[in-house]
Structure 1
């Protein structure tokens, strides 16, 4: 692109540099570890809730012990979407265990009882996470008991 007027060139280069600075600022802001983690967490939770809703509303059936087809595959006991959901929930459990181990290592000098107490009092979300994990484990165990009442419990929990 040729611009004949030198003042226009300076102005054009100045605007271009200004826009480049703005782009660099946005790039640094959105690529910062905190915001990236926040966005990835939000994206994960939205996808997880969508998958969870789909599994419970559409694809959650009693165990396939009679060899019928699920998701186009024969002899699979639970749908593939449910398997993916269980994998995601087990990653949440592993993450909570990791957080607790880190907390334990930081508070090593305290008594065991105070370590557990501070784990729950320092961050209120830990209470909700542990409650959700406990309910999930109850539902997970009830899921594999081939009784209609256990299946209903697994669906409600």
Structure 2
């Protein structure tokens, strides 16, 4: 355990030294602005509208989490974009946890929608479907 602490401390020290010795000013175009879970000021997190808003606002990248679904009839798994391991928080579900990894992509897509987040009333049910990684990569 001590060895892990020392290695972690050493790595953190290296990161700090590298950052202190990196000469990047805000006036140079070396800064990449990343929208965490999309531009959530105007749309629910990890939704297609949040990703589109991030692009319109000038962000160069979007950070998102992905989770694998269950295999479909053809044995194919997909990746859905969602921060949590369950659908509960974003889809307004209570009670038993609903895990993406136990549902096929088709089931998630047809049955669940994002129901919480900023300006939720401004978007259609179709716009608030849980996006797949493939869908977002096509944009």
TM range (shorter): under 0.3
Choose between structure 1 and 2: higher helix proportion. Answer: 1
Between 1 and 2, higher relative CO (CA 8 Å, sep ≥ 6) is seen in 2
Give the number of the structure whose alpha-carbon radius of gyration is greater. 1
Give the TM-score, by structure 1 length: 0.22
Higher strand share: 2
